[in-house]
Amino acid sequence: MNLKLTYFNFPFWRAEASRIALQLAEIPFEDVRPTREEFIKMKQTGELPYDQLPILEVEGKIIAQSVSIARFCGKISGLYPSNDDVDAARVDELMETANQITELFRSSMREKDQTKKLALRKNLAESELPKWLSFLNARLSVESGDFFVAERLTIADLVIWRLCSWLSGGILDGIPAAILNEHRALKRHHEMIDSIPQIREHMKTKYNQ
Ligand SMILES: N[C@@H](CCC(=O)N[C@@H](CS)C(=O)NCC(=O)O)C(=O)O
């Protein structure tokens, strides 16, 4: 299968979960990482269905929207439940939740005034994120296993792990790096995925992280 995955050169969940799923399954793909200027050109040429990244090209057909791409990559990589519709729906649920949490940042990302931006982030750090991270923490505990769904690694684990790395990476103004600490199951999950040897090696090689 001819696959070309296009996203910026950073390990955000929107593409990184799919990149890692394909890599773990040893499925070759073209890993395209455009600069901002190249991204603007892509928008001008009309090749992005929603003027956004990531996109995945499969045999010449374009798929957009991170969750659709992750679901597709999860399926072909064996990281999406194939014979249990409830487990599959749980994976979808978690990826939609990652999207919803990410969207909480949209207005503060766009805010140019630093004081207003920090006020928006304060609300995220003190109210919205603790609430949503508690929800995720509780969903993890439901399974009483190490993974979110079906007691094995799925694409949802990779998505939530990258989301949590972003939230606790100390790179978001106004969001403390300790944001995960209260959420014990989620933090344990994050450390567990982070220490899977192939994932560790990938993060070290690609991003020196
Ligand atoms: N709903 C889209 C959102 C994608 C998105 O927000 N992509 C960002 C990068 S993380 C982007 O393309 N930003 C550039 C822009 O919107 O101009 C998805 O799920 O993929």
- Distance in angstroms (rounded) separating the CA atoms of residues 179 and 147: 20
Q: Is the CB of 102 under 6 A from ligand 1?
A: no
From 52, 99, 108, 159, the mutation candidate for ligand 1 (largest count of ligand atoms within 8 A of CB) is 52
Number of H-type helices and E-type strands within the chain: 10, 4
3-state class of 167 per DSSP? helix
Q: Output the CA 50–ligand 1 centroid distance in Å.
A: 8
Q: Is the CB of 53 under 6 A from ligand 1?
A: yes
Its pTM stands at 0.97
Nearest one of 64, 38, 35 to 49, comparing CA atoms: 64
Residues 18/69, Cβ–Cβ less than 8 Å: yes
3-state class of 151 per DSSP? coil
Q: Is the CB of 65 under 6 A from ligand 1?
A: yes
CB proximity list for 150: less than 8 A, separation 6 or greater: 81, 84, 87, 90, 143
- Distance in angstroms (rounded) separating the CA atoms of residues 81 and 66: 18
The residue behind tokens 């050169």 is: 9
**Among protein residues, the one whose CA lies closest to atom 2 of ligand 1:** 65
Q: Digits of tens for pLDDT over the chain (209 positions)?
A: 999 999 999 999 999 999 999 999 999 999 999 999 999 999 999 999 999 999 999 999 999 999 999 999 999 999 999 999 999 999 999 999 999 999 999 999 999 999 999 999 999 999 999 999 999 999 986 655 789 998 999 999 999 999 999 999 999 999 999 999 999 999 999 999 999 999 999 999 999 99
Q: Output the CA 186–ligand 1 centroid distance in Å.
A: 25
Read off the DSSP letter of residue 125.
I
A 10 A CB-CB count for 183 gives 22
User: pLDDT at position 162, please?
Assistant: 98
Q: Output the CA 143–ligand 1 centroid distance in Å.
A: 31
Q: Is the CB of 14 under 6 A from ligand 1?
A: yes
Q: Output the CA 84–ligand 1 centroid distance in Å.
A: 30
User: pLDDT at position 142, please?
Assistant: 62
User: pLDDT at position 143, please?
Assistant: 55
